[in-house]
Amino acid sequence: MTPRRRPHPLVPAAVLAVSARPAPGVLLLPLIHTCAALLALVSLAVTLRHGLDERPVACAFGALVAVGELTRWTGAGVREPAPLGAAGALAYALLGENAGRPAGHGALQVVAVVGAAGLLGGVPHVARGRPGTADHLARRLLTVGFTAVCFQPLSDQGVLRAWRGPAWALLPAGLLALTALCDAVLAAALAHARTRWPFGPLLREELRALPGIGSAVCATGAVMAPAVAVAGLWALPVFSLPLLLTQVAFRRYAAVRATYRQTIACLARATEIAGYTPPGHARRVAALSRAVGRDLGLGEPDLTVLEYAALMHDIGQLSLVDPVPAGATAGLPAAEQRRIALLGGAVVRQTGAAAAVAEVVERQADPYREQPLPARIVRVVNAYDEKVRHAGPGAPLEALEELRLATAGEYAPEVVEALARVLAREGRDGLIPLTSG
């Protein structure tokens, strides 16, 4: 008999009861996976029945996609973890000729080769227990299938050979733009199905990220296909090298950002080590603030600023001679809260953190109508964590009610309601990594 999961201590029982209805996106994930699996099975069956056309070309592109998947990056916040595999798959979908001869493969063979190569390249990641392989492969198959279905019939019928000039170049460019949009929608849908975060902000974030590594992938795929059409398969390694170097550069940049975040987290622990704040308070406020910010539609740059500011929101207490009891600043007079906030902002500026982070720390005690949204979020989440820290089972609901009653003058109403939604949604799905210890 399956044991009943106990509700999280920070999640109000009444809110969980209201959220017991199935989420709208609960069927979205199996739907996407089923569509991708059906497309892969049909393509593989047809390809096996008729055999591979242009076997050397298929093997070369399959090997390129497999190598790209083997080097797939699983770091946090990565929009395209396998840019080389994505570029190779797009190039194969856009390939109409090989060294001046018609390629002859169709859309189903493109999907079959990309799917088989993706499965082969994903085996090491699955063996190591890395998450996201199924989502990644489903997204790859559906986007490449879309591109191949749009392009290959035109190539097979000889329509493209009659085109010259700008029209010949505009078709791949427009098709890649539609493919990028399709990929962004799929990525946002998968993230929405996994996390229950609002779909709109997730899609906006995906679209904002397209000019980055997405543009490099599309450009490489668009150039690689005509290069193979003219020069043959020797063009593949030549055009793969720049994208590999770009991937290495992105990894190094992400490593620097991860180191910087660890430095911020260590600074945030200074108040805990000194005994000014309870253990885990900054971490809890940062995690919950980021979730609330995402619910309110903040983009990734603003979420990063919010997270850093939430981690260091109490650092001004290090300048106090007498510590605040239990580090609970929400109950102090407004003037004292502002003084601690200004001291904290001064400390943050000395650490070399971004000016936007220091501004959020400085303005967390201002009247909420004058605050930027990140400062409003930090203020509400900090007050909530302080109210439920050492209280009984009914404390979360009481804390939310207290915050709602104080929305007339102290706390932003939209932030309080977003906090309630986050607690309901993530508490229901078991995603809140917070503890009261």
- The predicted pLDDT at position 19 comes to 40
131/428 Cα distance (integer angstroms): 21
Q: What is the DSSP letter of 277?
A: S
Q: Specify burial of residue 354 (Cβ count, 10 A radius: 0-12, 13-18, 19+).
A: middle
What six digits make up the tokens of 80?
């395209």
User: What predicted TM-score, i.e. pTM, was given to this entire model?
Assistant: 0.76
Pairing of strands 101-102, 97-98: antiparallel
- The predicted pLDDT at position 3 comes to 42
Nearest-10 Cα torsion for 55, 59, 60, 65: 140
DSSP 111-154: HHHHHHHHHHHHHHHHHTT-TTHHHHHHHHHHHHHHHHHHHHHH
Q: What are the backbone angles phi and psi of residue 365, rounded to the nearest 5°? A: -105, 5
Contacts of 150 (CB under 8 A, 6+ apart): 175, 178
Using 70 as the pLDDT threshold, list the residues of the chain that sit under it. Answer: 1-26, 74-79, 99-100, 156-169, 321, 326-327, 390-393, 426-437
- The predicted pLDDT at position 308 comes to 92
285/386 Cα distance (integer angstroms): 10
- The predicted pLDDT at position 163 comes to 58
| C-alpha distances in Å from residue 395, one per residue of 179, 186, 216, 277, 289 | 49, 39, 51, 20, 19
Contact between residue 180 and residue 210 where contact means Cβ atoms under 8 Å apart: yes
Contact between residue 372 and residue 362 where contact means Cβ atoms under 8 Å apart: no
415/201 Cα distance (integer angstroms): 16
Question: Coil, strand, or helix at residue 102?
Answer: strand
Q: Which long-range contacts (CB under 8 A, 24 or more apart) does 141-144 make?
A: 141/36, 141/39, 141/40, 141/111, 141/114, 141/115, 142/32, 142/35, 142/36, 142/39, 142/182, 142/186, 143/179, 143/182, 143/183, 143/186, 144/89, 144/90, 144/92, 144/93, 144/110, 144/111, 144/114
| Residues recorded for the chain | 437
Residue type, 191: A
